[in-house]
Amino acid sequence: MEINVIGHPWHLAKALLNEANIRYNVTVTHPTKDFFKLEPDGYYVVRQCLLDDGTLDIRLAARLQKEVSTNGLQD
């Protein structure tokens, strides 16, 4: 069974993979600089690769937190 979870939030992708009984490994990527704050639970699938043993290798990245600009502009 082929499944594509790229772009899905991790909680949804994990549920889909478990439902389909697909084995997976997960790696979380982190930015090289910590300039932007990350959402602690906002992980998304950014890469997937099917390994020779049938395991799906999943790469996750965190979503950046929203920030409000203080440049004096108003809505």
* Domain edges within the chain: 10-64
Give the count of alpha carbons within 13 A of 23, CB side only: 5
**Rounded CA gap, 60 and 28, in Å?**
5
Tokens 């108003």 label which residue?
A: 74
The pTM for the full model equals 0.72
Question: pLDDT by residue (tens digit) across 13-70?
Answer: 999 999 999 999 999 887 666 666 655 667 889 999 999 999 999 999 886 656 655 6
- Strands in 56-64's sheet, in edge-to-edge order, are 24-29, 56-64, 38-50
Read off the pLDDT band of 2 (50, 70, 90): confident
Residue 6 has pLDDT above 80, yes or no: yes
